[in-house]
Amino acid sequence: MNQTKTSPTMKDVAQEAGVSLGTVSKVVNGISVGEEYYRRVQAAIEKLDYRINSYAKGLKSNKTFTIAVMVPNLINPFFSQLVDAINRELAAKNYRMLFYATDYDPKLEQRLVQLAEQQKVDGIICLSYNPELKVSEGVPFVSIDRYFGGNIPCVSADNYGGGRLAAEKLAENGCRNVAFMRVGSHLTNEPNKRKDGFVSGCEALGIPCTLKITGDDTPISVFEDFLREHFRDGKLEFDGIFCVTDYLAHQIIGILSSMGLQVPEDVQVIGFDGIRAFGDQELTCSTIIQPIEAIASSCVEMVLGTQLIKAPSLLCLPISYGFGGTTKA
Amino acid sequence: MNQTKTSPTMKDVAQEAGVSLGTVSKVVNGISVGEEYYRRVQAAIEKLDYRINSYAKGLKSNKTFTIAVMVPNLINPFFSQLVDAINRELAAKNYRMLFYATDYDPKLEQRLVQLAEQQKVDGIICLSYNPELKVSEGVPFVSIDRYFGGNIPCVSADNYGGGRLAAEKLAENGCRNVAFMRVGSHLTNEPNKRKDGFVSGCEALGIPCTLKITGDDTPISVFEDFLREHFRDGKLEFDGIFCVTDYLAHQIIGILSSMGLQVPEDVQVIGFDGIRAFGDQELTCSTIIQPIEAIASSCVEMVLGTQLIKAPSLLCLPISYGFGGTTKA
DNA sequence: TGCGAAAAATGAAACGTTTCATATAGAAGG
DNA sequence: CCTTCTATATGAAACGTTTCATTTTTCGCA
């Protein structure tokens, strides 16, 4: 018989140490036992190289020390940096992270939430693109950037404040006619407040503001068309543009330069997120910086229930301005 | 008694459907049963909204449909794009991904491997920075970019070929005196072959080549010092630089421009990886592109054993050149 | 020295599956 | 109508833990 060597169980340890199963369990879980027993069990554990079986433990105790984290993908640096930060927080608390990419697909997202629940995770952190997402009562759920109401907590940056700040910064730098650009129309999404904040900021400052918001799946060329419409005699009608994300800002900058316009000399551009292209290097465009670490740690605290949520709650974390060379200062 | 409503089990389904436990198990696992039985069980499943408990299943069957993926972090876009691609492959095969960040820390990495094993994953995919990593025989393990020998399969890009290609491209673009730059000294790392390929390429082409390889934890300023040493009368001694990663290339480009040098007019720079800063946008420096998708799918195939490994194997995937504006073509 | 109370160790039951030896029903053949 | 064979359904045991009702040990005190 060529038995494949199976890993030792608590029973094996108990036998080796000459104690009962319950005693081994106590030692493994750090519950106090007699000194002599403790020593014997530890020795047996070392000798057999025993490791607890998380699946047996999870089955019996209904606690898996696993959190599901869901974002559209890991390609967009905002998402990957967020997930990185969440993972750090979880690891520090001895939790494990099950990762799911939703690909911006509401159906898939719904399926993944069910999958995660069935996977018996202790909680779910999700940056959702599904306004109608159904979540089971049983599993703690924390949303990022989308407020569902009910008793589902949501963590997000102060998007409204960020919008206002963008308006103020452009104004400070001398802009007198600005535009706002946004892809998609997920209306209940918190980031949509960036527009509201920006518009209100412009109004307060007395600066005219044009909005260009495309549908969900329109190509980037729509923005190019828009810009060309407002381009006469080698001059752009706007002297400042606020883009809803850094990602979009980079695309817009590309279009502007292909039109022969200089950034920031001819037109200033400001994005949102605070992406550092290669991780810890400098910003590649001026931007409103999201507090990624703070978002991550709030999510983790909330989902682990360190911080109990009673009422429907929307946590708004402070943003800041970052100069990246696409504004004048 | 305020019982918290517990989820239905197979037993509940069996009772509801009036069949035995075994029959429910068969239906759930797609094993053929009598037509009438199948119908009744399905109805009961729907009615009770039954979901299988993965922990019970995993405990009994010793198969968890979970793969651990380990890279240093998700900040470096090469890593996050790789993990994204691996996750896609796994999801397509109905596997789940447990993610661990090793933070370039060999000790931590070793601990995480043990943790993953104890977590009963069906396999581990790891981009390791620990040349002495110990892996249990029990769990399928696939390495990325580090060849351990033994019977541990390794997947990597053709780093040697990539180095040669970098030399050829610089030569094609008129370079006659080049430098190679690399941080760290993880000598058994496959990417170290980039240097060998580059050196051999330069030799074959008859171009002088200077190497600058720093220690593991030296600051970036070491490269600045090096460049200044080779900078006389407003002219840099080199007309081409190959950086071991795009990440480094960007830092070097920053230094060069702070020295008043133009890229690519005064000096051409080529990186390695093929990072697209914002995911799907254009390259921000000329580079040797790693086949990230191919690496990901090979890893997944191997770790799932779709493709059986017998001998120690090192899979080398083809690279390509990508123009990003920091070379002349 | 002996008694009772408190503290500690024990081991059986349970968690929700899979699996396998057994039981059953139905079909086919004589 | 009975036997045999096949195909299918059954349910008990097992996976490796935790937990809790019991039993055993320890120890202070009379």
Q: What is the pLDDT of residue B69?
A: 98
* B219 pLDDT above the threshold of 70: yes
B305 located within any domain: yes
Q: Chain B: nearest CA to A205, how far in angstroms?
A: 32
Q: For the residues A12-25, what does the mean pLDDT come to?
A: 95
- Predicted confidence (pLDDT) per residue in A83-141, tens digit: 999 999 999 999 999 999 999 999 999 999 999 999 999 999 999 999 999 998 889 99
- Residue B267: C-alpha distances to residues A129, B170, B173, B240, B255 (Å): 45, 10, 11, 5, 12
Q: Please give the full DSSP string across B272-317, using - where no structure is assigned.
A: EE---TTSSS--SS-EEEP-HHHHHHHHHHHHTTSS---S--EEEE
- Predicted confidence (pLDDT) per residue in B106-139, tens digit: 999 999 999 999 999 999 999 999 999 999 888 9
Mark whether A309 and A276 lie in a shared domain.
no
Q: What is the CATH number of the domain that holds A215?
A: 3.40.50.2300
Q: Label residue B255 by pLDDT band (50, 70, 90).
A: very high
Q: Are strands A268-273 and A141-144 parallel, antiparallel or unpaired?
A: unpaired
Domains held by chain B: number: 3
* B265 pLDDT above the threshold of 70: yes
Q: In this complex, which of B51, B80, B99 lies closest to A97 when CB atoms are compared?
A: B99
Mark whether A298 and A275 lie in a shared domain.
no
Contact A98 B101 (CB under 8 A): no
Q: Chain B: nearest CA to A235, how far in angstroms?
A: 26
Q: For the residues B260-280, what does the mean pLDDT come to?
A: 90
A325 located within any domain: no
pTM of the model: 0.94
Share above pLDDT 90 across residues of chain A, in percent, rounded to a whole number: 82
Mark whether A174 and A280 lie in a shared domain.
yes
Q: Label residue B284 by pLDDT band (50, 70, 90).
A: confident
A170 membership: H or E segment, kind and range: helix A159-172
Q: Which of A105, A119, A121 to mutate to test the interface with B (most CBs of B within 10 A)?
A: A119
Contact (Cβ atoms closer than 8 angstroms) between residue A51 and residue A110: no
Q: For the residues A22-30, what does the mean pLDDT come to?
A: 96
Task: Dump strand ranges (E) for chain A.
Answer: 66-71, 96-101, 123-126, 141-144, 154-157, 178-182, 209-213, 231-232, 235-236, 240-243, 268-273, 287-289, 314-317, 320-322
Mark whether B31 and B144 lie in a shared domain.
no
Mark whether A88 and A169 lie in a shared domain.
no
Contact (Cβ atoms closer than 8 angstroms) between residue A248 and residue A184: no
- Predicted confidence (pLDDT) per residue in B133-158, tens digit: 999 888 999 999 999 988 899 999 99
Q: What is the pLDDT of residue B189?
A: 81
Q: Label residue A215 by pLDDT band (50, 70, 90).
A: confident
Mark whether A32 and A148 lie in a shared domain.
no
Whose CA is nearest the C1' atom of nucleotide C20?
B22
Contact (Cβ atoms closer than 8 angstroms) between residue A268 and residue A173: yes
* B76 pLDDT above the threshold of 80: yes
Contact (Cβ atoms closer than 8 angstroms) between residue B95 and residue B66: yes
CA distance A113 to A98: 12
Q: Which of A53, A55, A292 to mutate to test the interface with B (most CBs of B within 10 A)?
A: A55
* B277 pLDDT above the threshold of 80: no
Q: What is the pLDDT of residue A278?
A: 72
Q: Label residue A194 by pLDDT band (50, 70, 90).
A: very high
Contact B84 A97 (CB under 8 A): no
A14 located within any domain: yes
Mark whether B97 and B69 lie in a shared domain.
yes
Q: What is the pLDDT of residue A2?
A: 41
Q: For the residues B300-306, what does the mean pLDDT come to?
A: 90
Q: In this complex, which of B7, B58, B251 lies closest to A55 when CB atoms are compared?
A: B58
Q: Which residue of A has its CA nearest to B56?
A: A59
**CA/C1' separation B36–C29 (Å):** 28
- Which residues of chain A are within 8 Å of residue B293 when distances are taken between CB atoms? none
Averaged pLDDT of chain B: 93
CA distance A288 to A195: 13
B308 located within any domain: yes
Q: In this complex, which of B56, B75, B277 lies closest to A81 when CB atoms are compared?
A: B75
* A242 pLDDT above the threshold of 90: yes
A93 located within any domain: yes
Whose CA is nearest the C1' atom of nucleotide D20?
A22
Q: What is the pLDDT of residue A276?
A: 85
Contact (Cβ atoms closer than 8 angstroms) between residue B282 and residue B324: yes
Q: What is the pLDDT of residue A109?
A: 97
A46 located within any domain: yes
- Which residues of chain B are within 8 Å of residue A74 when distances are taken between CB atoms? 74, 80-81, 83-84, 87
Mark whether A215 and A147 lie in a shared domain.
no
Contact A54 B119 (CB under 8 A): yes
Q: Which residue of A has its CA nearest to B280?
A: A75
Contact A99 B76 (CB under 8 A): no
B235 located within any domain: yes
Q: What is the pLDDT of residue B30?
A: 92
- Domain range spanning residue A188? 159-291
Mark whether B285 and B296 lie in a shared domain.
no
Q: What is the pLDDT of residue A187?
A: 57
Averaged pLDDT of chain A: 93
Mark whether B93 and B199 lie in a shared domain.
no
Mark whether B140 and B44 lie in a shared domain.
no
- Predicted confidence (pLDDT) per residue in B35-55, tens digit: 999 999 999 999 999 999 999
Mark whether A177 and A266 lie in a shared domain.
yes
- Predicted confidence (pLDDT) per residue in A66-91, tens digit: 999 999 999 989 999 999 999 999 99
CA A20 to chain centre: 46
- Which nucleotide lies closest to B41 by the C1' atom and the CA atom? D9
Q: What is the pLDDT of residue A1?
A: 36
B101 located within any domain: yes
- Which residues of chain A are within 8 Å of residue B87 when distances are taken between CB atoms? 74, 99-101
